[in-house]
Structure 1
């Protein structure tokens, strides 16, 4: 009887939220429920907005311990798309992304900390672009989580990263207003 009570108590403790397991997610790029977008100022007058159409990613999430969280994303740089063919060819050239030499860009987190109780996190990690790897830091926010209509479970995050092109060896002069690019990630993952 005593052994049964101890076993039941251990099972109850291990099932409690404090012992929740890390959840692993694959970013849903097949269903177009995720995107890697960017915007850059055009001469100080407006914005050029684009996206990368081909990328993959995954993330791990632990609601109770943000130190267990991680994210990684790999982008096919040739998939850059600003809805303007001539500009996209120029972006693929050695003036900018140099996709023949650097076919991929990537981000891999090194740490995640919870910023507040509203589902915001600070992510630190290594961004590799144009053959240069630099440490970066940015905030992400959980958009939502729950069961989907197909019997799975999904969780989504979004965040924006500000970067200087020159820091990654891209020194094509677009003028001072266009020295910074804002990279946006919208990642909806399917729990594995």
Structure 2
């Protein structure tokens, strides 16, 4: 009986060391770093590819790669921060016809589920996207990488502007400005 006691102590010490090493490697990312992040978009206008950027956004998240199913994210984009590299177009986008920023200053995405995919670092994020008072359930494919103590989430999502009443009146047709808008994101978190 006496010789088993040291073996038990060594086994417990080894298990505790393994547990500590595993928890030391696990990281939960909770602080979005807007200055190290970006949200851009592509669209077609009269058949020509155009780009834009949203310069201001904020968010809350909770993501641990070891427990992706418990992750959550809320992202709010300041629609008045849109920049399509043309001051006149930027002013037009703020009007009631497009974003109607006085009435709807922010677009919002709130996750409802996160699922790890078979490929390492690939995830599927489902959530509610709200723009201009219109809500749609969307599925966002995202890739996660860890770099220098930070987590980087990258992906893209195609939305139809018509589903969110972006472009009303004469702009409701898609002959000049296409319906599809591809939103690209690179979000960095600590």
TM-score range, shorter chain: 0.7 to 0.9
Q: Which residue of 2 aligns with 1:150?
A: none
Q: Which residue of 2 aligns with 1:146?
A: 147
Within-5 A mapping of 1:4-19: 8=13, 11-12=16-17, 14-15=19-20, 17=22
Q: Which deviates more, 90-99 or 169-178? A: 169-178
Within-5 A mapping of 1:161-180: 161-170=157-166, 171=168, 172-173=171-172, 175-176=174-175, 178-180=178-180
Q: Which deviates more, 165-174 or 81-90? A: 165-174
Q: Which residue of 1 aligns with 2:46?
A: 43
Q: Which residue of 2 aligns with 1:155?
A: 151
Within-5 A mapping of 1:112-123: 112-123=114-125
Q: Which deviates more, 91-100 or 166-175? A: 166-175
- The alignment covers a number of residue pairs equal to 181
Unaligned runs of 5+ in 2: none
- 1:56 counterpart (55, 58, 64): 58
- CA positional deviation for 1:64: 2.0
- The secondary structure found in structure 1 opposite 2:62 is strand
Q: Which deviates more, 112-121 or 100-109? A: 112-121
Q: Which residue of 1 aligns with 2:31?
A: 26
Deviations 1:23-47 (A, max 9, x none): 0332212xx3101111111122x21
- CA positional deviation for 1:112: 0.7
Normalising by structure 2, report the TM-score.
0.83
- The secondary structure found in structure 2 opposite 1:11 is helix
Contact 2:126–2:140 at 8 Å: present in 1 too?
yes
Structural RMSD (CA): 2.4
- Structure of higher CA gyration radius: 2
Unaligned runs of 5+ in 1: 148-152
